[in-house]
Structure 1
Amino acid sequence: MSRLGSLGHRLYQGEVGYDFVGKRKIWYGVSILITITAIVALAVQGLNMGIEFKGGAVLTTPKTDVSVSQVQEEAEKASGHDAIVQELGSGGMRIQLSGLDTDAAADVKKDLADALGVQEKDINADLVGPSWGEQIANKAWTGLGIFMFLVVIYLAIAFEWRMALAALIALIHDITITVGVYALVGFEVTPGTVIGLLTILGYSLYDTVVVFDSLKEGSKDITKQTRWTYSEVANRSINSTLVRSINTTVVALLPVAGLLFIGGGVLGAGMLNDISLSLFVGLAAGAYSSIFIATPLVADLKERDPQMKALKKRVLAKRAAAAAKGERADEATAGGPQDARDVSDGDAEAAVVGQRRQTTPPGGGRGRGKRR
Structure 2
Amino acid sequence: MSDTPVMEAETVDDQVATATPQHGFFERLYTGTGGFRIVGRRNLYYAIAAVLVVIAGLSIGLRGFTLGIDFAGGTRIDLPAAAGVSTTQVSDVYARSLGSAPVSVQKVGSGSSASYEINSDTLSSDQQDKVQGALFDAFHPKDSTGAVNRNAISIAEISSTWGGEVTRKAIIALVVFVLLTMIYISIRFERDMSLAAIASLFFNLVVTAGIYSIVGFQVTPAAVIGLLTILGYVLYDNVVVFDKVEENTRGVLHRTNRTYAEFANLAANQTLMRSINTTVIGILPIVGMLVIAVWLLGVGTLKDLALVQLVGMIVGAYSSIFFAVPLLVTLKETWGPVAAHTRKVLAKRSGAARDRAGEAATRRAASLGGSGVSAGSGAPTAPLRQQREPGAAPRPGARPTGKRQKRRH
Shared fold, TM over 0.5: yes
Is the counterpart of residue 83 in structure 1 residue 113 in structure 2? no
Q: Equivalences for 1:337-348 in 2 at 5 Å?
A: none
Query: Equivalents in 2 of 1:67, 1:320: separation in Å?
Result: 71
> Which whole-Å CA distance do the structure 2 matches of 1:92 and 1:143 have between them?
30
Distance 2:318 2:152 in 1: 47
CA distance in 2 between partners of 1:134 and 1:182 (Å): 20
Aligned pairs for 1:298-309 within 5 A = 298-309=328-339
Structure 1 spans left out of the alignment, 5+ residues? 337-372
**Which residue of structure 2 lines up, in the alignment, with residue 99 of structure 1?**
122
* Structural mapping, 1:207-226, within 5 Å: 207-226=237-256
In structure 2, list runs of 5 or more residues that go unmatched.
1-23, 142-148, 367-409
Superposed displacement of residue 278, structure 1: 0.2
What CA distance in whole angstroms lies between the structure 1 residues aligned with 2:127 and 2:30? 65
Alpha-carbon distance in structure 2 between the residues aligned to 1:220 and 1:85? 55
- Tell me the distance in 2 between the aligned counterparts of 1:217 and 1:309: 19
Change (3 A) 1:137 1:335: farther
Rounded to whole Å, the distance in 2 between the matches of 1:17 and 1:122 is 64
Question: What are the residue-to-residue correspondences of 1:171-320 with 2, within 5 Å?
Answer: 171-320=201-350
Alpha-carbon distance change, 117 to 96 in structure 1, aligned in 2, over 3 angstroms? same
SS of aligned partner of 2:75: strand
Task: Check 1:44–1:94 CA distance in 2 against 1; reply closer, same or farther (3 A cut).
Answer: same
TM-score (norm 1): 0.80
Alignment match, 1:154:
184
Aligned partners of 1:306, 1:169: CA distance in 2, in Å?
Answer: 20
CA RMSD of aligned residues (A): 2.7
Query: Given the alignment of the two structures, is residue 63 of structure 1 paired with residue 82 of structure 2, yes or no?
Result: yes
Whole-angstrom distance in 1 between the partners of 2:67 and 2:104: 15
Deviation, structure 1 residue 210: 0.8
Secondary structure at the counterpart of residue 305 of structure 2: helix
Is the 1:68–1:85 Cα contact (8 Å) retained in structure 2? no
Are residues 288 and 122 of structure 1, via their aligned partners in 2, closer, same or farther at CA, if it must alter by over 3 Å? same
Q: Indicate how the Cα distance of structure 1 residues 160 and 101 shifts in structure 2: closer, same or farther if over 3 A, else same.
A: farther
State which of 127, 132, 138 in structure 2 corresponds to 1:109: 132
Mapped partners of 1:120, 1:287: distance in 2: 51
Distance in 1 of aligned mates of 2:197 and 2:106: 41
CA distance in 2, matches of 1:72, 1:17: 55
> Which has the higher mean CA deviation after the structures are superposed, 187-196 or 97-106?
97-106
Say yes or no: does 1:36 pair with 2:61: no
How far apart are 1:143 and its partner, in Å? Answer: 1.6
The change in CA–CA distance for 1:138 and 1:330 in structure 2 (over 3 A counts) is same
Larger Rg: 2
| AA partner of residue 218 (structure 2) | E
**TM value normalised by structure 2:** 0.73
- Return the alpha-carbon distance in structure 2 between the equivalents of residues 68 and 168 of structure 1: 42
Partner Cα distance (2:197, 2:176) in 1: 15
